[in-house]
Structure 1
Amino acid sequence: MIRKQPTARVRYAAGLTAGLVLLALAVAGGLAVGAQSVPPAEVFAALLDPDAPHASIVREVRVPRTLLAVTAGAALGLAGAVMQGLTRNPLAEPGLLGVNTGAACAVVAATVLLGTRSLHAVVWWALLGAAVAVVVVYLLGGRGAGRGTPEGLVLAGVAVTAVLGAVVSGLGVLDADAYGTLRMWSVGTLAGRELPVLWEVLPFLLVGAVLALAVAPALNAFALGDEAGRALGVAPGRVRLLGTLATVLLSGAATAAIGPVGFIGLVAPHVARLLAGPDHRRLMPYAVLIGAGLLLVADIVGRVVARPAEIQVGIVTAFVGAPVLIWLIGRARRNRRSASRKAVATA
C-alpha cells in the first residue's frame, strides 16, 4: 500500500504548531531563568497564587518582561517581512533602515527638550520619529549610484542611524537627571519594563498587524514589479502607503516599549521564507513566531551569560544579526555577478 505524502497545507500547519510549541518553551524559560532561577513547579505556583514563594519575581518582573519580549519581537519580525516585500530588498528591516533609531531619537528629544514623561506621549513621539526616518531613508536611498540596489538603502539607513544615534547621545548628556532613563534608547532593553507599557502600545501594534496581513496578498503581486502588479489589479501607491503605515506602527510602537532593537526584522523574515516559501500570506505568521522567539531567547541569553548582571537584549541581537547581514550582502553580490555573466553569455 502506497502511503500518501503530506500536503503542503498539512506541512504548513505542522510547522506553525511546532513553532508555537517552541515559543511556549521559550516563554517558560523566560519565566524561570534570570539572576535567580526559579524551578518550573514554583513558577506555575506563583502564577496561580500571589502569596507563593517567588511570586513577586515571577508576576511583577518576569511576566511583563516576557510578554513584552514576545509582543515586540513579533511586531519587529512582521515589520521586517513587510519592509522586505515593499522594497523588494532582502536587507530591509526597521533597525538597518533607521526606523528604530528615528523613533528613539524623537522620544529622547521630546523627553529632554520638552520634558515629556507621559507614556502615552512617548508612544506618539516614537511613531512620528519612525515615520520621518522612513521618508528620509527612502529619499536618500533612491539617489546616486546606489539607487535601486539593496546596498543603497542599507547605506542610507546606516548614515541616518549614525546621525540620529549621535543626536540621542548628545541629548542624553545635556540632561544628567534623565541620562539613566535614556540609556535604554541607545540600545534596547527589557529590564524594568512593566505591564502598563504593553497596554499602551498594544492598540498600535494590533492595527499595524492588521494592515500588514491585509497587504500580504498584494505584496505577492508587488514582488513582480509595479507594471506586473497593476496588470494583476494591485495599486502600487496604495500598497506602499498601507505597508509603510504598518511598518511605522509596528516598529515605532515596539521601539517605544523596549527601545531600538535591531536585526530581529532582518533574521525572522529570512528564516520564515526558508520554511514557508515566498508567499507573504504564509510567510508572515512564521515571521511573527520567529521574531517573538528570537527576541525572547536573546533576552534569556542576556540574563544568563553575565549573571548576576545582564547584557541588554539589543546587544545580544546584534551579535546574532551582524553575521547574517554580512552573509546576505555577500550572497546578493554573488547573485548579481552571476546574473551579469549569464546576460553577457546570452548576448
Structure 2
Amino acid sequence: MLHTINHSTFLRLLINIFAFIALLLSIGFSIALGAVDIHLNTVWNALFHFDSEVTSHQIIQELRLPRAFAAVLVGAFLAISGAIMQGMTRNPLASPSIMGVTEGSALALVIMLAFFPAASNSGLIIASFIGAGLAVTMVFMIGSFSKGGLTQVKLALGGVAISTMLSSISSLISLHFQLERQMGFWMAGGLADTNWNSIQLLLVCGAIGLTLAISMSKSITILSLGDDIASGLGQNNMLIKILGIFSVLLLTGAAVSIAGPVGFIGLIVPHITRFIMGTDYRWIIPSSAIFGGLLLVLADVVSRLVNAPYETPVGAITSLIGVPFFLYLARGGGTK
C-alpha cells in the first residue's frame, strides 16, 4: 500500500515537472513569436544580458515579457478559481463566471469610460476589480441571507440573476454613451495592453488568493464529498465557503480586470487536472495553476499567429476549445 502511494505521488510530481518545463518553453515561444519574430537567442540575451540600445531587447522587456507573464498568471488564477468553485459546489459546470465577476468588472469599466473618460489605465483596472468584488458580494449575500443558507443551487441562481442585471445595466450605459467599440475588444478577452503595472496587481492579488487557496486545499477536498460529510468530520463549512469565495474574488477579479472575460479556462482545466491528479485538492490546486498558465500562454500565441499580422482576441481561441468541452459536460460526459 505504501509503495502504491509513493508511486502515485512520484507520478503526479513527475507530470507536474514536465508540465512546468512545457510552461517555461511556451513562455519562450510566446516572447519570440509575434508580428515580428525574434530568435530565441535574442530572447535569452534580452532576459539575462539586457541592452537598452537594442530595439528587440526593448520590445521583449516592455511588451512581450509582461504579456507572457500576464498570460501565465491569468490562466493560473482562472483555473484555480474554477477548481475551488467546482470543489465547493460539487457542480462540474461551475466556474468563476457564475459569480458575476465578469459582469461586475464590465459595469465598472463602462461607468468609468462614460463618466470619467480621462481616467488612467491603472484607474480603469482598479475600478474593474472593485466592480468584480461588489458583484461577488451581492451574489454571496443573496445566497447566504435566504432561507436555508448558501447552497450550490442558490449560488448559481444568484449568480445568474446578478449577472443578467449587471449586464443589462452595462448595455444601457454603453449604448447611451456609444462605448461599444471601446468595450468590444475587452469583452472578447485579450492581453495586448498588458504592462508591468498589470503584473504588479496580479502578483499582489495572487499572493493573497493563492495562499488562501493552498491553505484551504485539504478542506475543499473534504467539502467536495458533501456538506453533511464535511460537517460530520467537524469542518466549519460556512467559513470554508466564505474564504473560498474571497479567494475566487481576488484571483478572478484581478484576472478579469487585466485580460477581460477569458472564457472556459476555469471550466476546462480543473476537469483535466482531476482526471490526471485524482480528487485531492492539495494536488488539484497547484497543478491547475500550471496547466491553466500553459493553456492560456499557448492560446495567446495562437491568437497572434492565426490571423497575422492582425491579432485575434484570446477569448475567441479559448472559446473554440471550451464550447465543445462544455457541451460534452452538459450532456453528462465526465460528470459523476
Partner of 1:83: 85
Kindly tell me: are residues 156 and 242 of structure 1, through their superposed partners in 2, closer, same or farther at Cα, counting changes over 3 Å? Answer: closer
Displacement of 1:131 after TM fit?
A: 3.4
Displacement of 1:172 after TM fit?
A: 3.4
Partner of 1:19: 19
State whether structure 2 residue 103 is matched by structure 1 residue 104. no
Taking the TM superposition and a 5 Å limit, the aligned residue runs for 1:1-347 are: 7-47=7-47, 48=49, 49-52=51-54, 54-115=56-117, 117-119=119-121, 121-134=123-136, 139=142, 157=159, 160-161=162-163, 163-175=165-177, 181-331=182-332
Kindly tell me: are residues 228 and 18 of structure 1, through their superposed partners in 2, closer, same or farther at Cα, counting changes over 3 Å? Answer: same
Q: Aligned Cα RMSD in Å?
A: 2.9
Amino acid at match of 2:311: E
Amino acid at match of 2:208: V
Q: C-alpha distance in 2, partners of 1:34/1:274?
A: 33
Whether the aligned pair in 1 keeps the contact of 2:303 and 2:312 (CA below 8 Å) is: yes
Displacement of 1:123 after TM fit?
A: 4.3
Q: Deviations over 1:246-287 (max 9, x none)?
A: 000100011111112111111111111011101111111110
Q: Deviations over 1:204-255 (max 9, x none)?
A: 1211111111111111111222221122121011001000000001000111
Whether the aligned pair in 1 keeps the contact of 2:102 and 2:261 (CA below 8 Å) is: yes
Q: C-alpha distance in 1, partners of 2:309/2:106?
A: 28
Amino acid at match of 2:247: A
Q: C-alpha distance in 1, partners of 2:66/2:106?
A: 21
Q: C-alpha distance in 1, partners of 2:160/2:228?
A: 30
TM, length-normalised to structure 2: 0.86
Q: C-alpha distance in 1, partners of 2:312/2:120?
A: 27
In structure 1, list runs of 5 or more residues that go unmatched: 336-347
Aligned residues: 327
Displacement of 1:104 after TM fit?
A: 2.3
Q: C-alpha distance in 1, partners of 2:65/2:333?
A: 40
Kindly tell me: are residues 218 and 316 of structure 1, through their superposed partners in 2, closer, same or farther at Cα, counting changes over 3 Å? Answer: same
Q: Secondary structure at the match of 2:216?
A: helix
Kindly tell me: are residues 116 and 264 of structure 1, through their superposed partners in 2, closer, same or farther at Cα, counting changes over 3 Å? Answer: farther
Greater alpha carbon shift after TM alignment, 26-35 vs 44-53: 44-53
Q: C-alpha distance in 1, partners of 2:237/2:318?
A: 33
Whether the aligned pair in 1 keeps the contact of 2:89 and 2:151 (CA below 8 Å) is: no
Displacement of 1:153 after TM fit?
A: 6.4
In structure 2, list runs of 5 or more residues that go unmatched: none
Displacement of 1:74 after TM fit?
A: 0.8
TM, length-normalised to structure 1: 0.84
Whether the aligned pair in 1 keeps the contact of 2:256 and 2:262 (CA below 8 Å) is: yes
Whether the aligned pair in 2 keeps the contact of 1:46 and 1:53 (CA below 8 Å) is: no
Identity %: 31
